[in-house]
Structure 1
Amino acid sequence: MNLYFVFEGKTEAIVYKKWLSVLLPELTEVDSFDAVIQNNYYYESDMGVPSCYRVTANAIQEINLFPKYDYLVLFTDADRFTVSEKKAEADGQIKSELKDKPFKTQPENCKLEVIVQKVCMETWFLGNRKFFVRNPQHNEILKQYIKYFDVSQGNPEDLASEFVQNEENTKDIFGYKTKALFHEGYLREIFK
């Protein structure tokens, strides 16, 4: 089995590579898309949205030229969207990116999967109650975050659920323009 991963962010590449080493230890990473033989994976990461859709469309071109992949997997953050809304957005954006490309779909032997992280990868980490600092002594920012929403008591996916960015992209929550960035910031304060 060969896999081509497109990770929207940088955290995903770190985490999923570690998970793969446990879940599918027979898989090995290759340095270029055309280096796969058997039980290999290749990935692109850290391009954000909407660039990850362009990269996925380009991956479809590469897979058509080198049809040895079983799966093309896009990992993206839901942020303010529901999982189904984000999957629909990804599908529409990838199709739009493919309009001017030679290959409009991936080969039949390769399946496209979209994995949506609700709200983002860092949200999943906020759910680790063993890691959570219950009484931060010297971190005033973390104290404010906990007062606003204690992720050790509530579902981290609900953190800042009321926040909706406006059309001008001028609103923020604790200085962050998106829920996903706020979740990442909260996690960083716990790390401190």
Structure 2
Amino acid sequence: MRLKINLAQVSRMKQTSTYLAYLPLLLLLVATLIGNSYWYYSINTDIARYNEKLSSMAQRSLKTKEPVEESIPQKEKESLAKEAAFINSVIKGRTLSWSGLFAHLEKEHIPNISMVSLTPKVVEDKMRIAVRGVGKDLDTITRFMDRLEKSPSFQGVFLSHSSDTDLNGEKLVNFSMEAEYTGK
């Protein structure tokens, strides 16, 4: 009988499987590094391009002694203003805290009101929420609207549409309303 002593800490087979297990992680890290460096260089290129554009506008302004904003045609100014307003409304719409909205609605909710849909829209830099739902009767809907109006989170609540409906013999009222959501 021969004594066999193995001084290696890990068998060679286990090392190969470990290398293979870490290979996708290594590839992901390399891809992330390449992507980030591409992003960094493209951002630097954009910055250089914008700086060049600004310096050319400044040079042109100094040569003509005309303010830069007057050198931009009125039609282009209006187009840029509309585009900026649209982008700002999209940004404001995307920054809506849904959890905050739901928490405020839940705080003001009363029994016998079911909300079917909530649709946010930005109107004149204000966040308006269109609410469609079903209530037991018009009095219940009015109480719900009053609670929303008294809440610091909502203002300008108005009922835009209501119609009677019958569901399994029970009379209900479909409604649509709008409110400005302040988020306070």
User: Which structure has the highest helix share of the two?
Assistant: 2
TM-score relative to the length of structure 2: 0.23
Higher relative CO (CA 8 A, sep ≥ 6), structure 1 or 2?
1
TM-score relative to the length of structure 1: 0.22
Structure with greater Cα Rg = 2
User: Which structure has the highest strand share of the two?
Assistant: 2
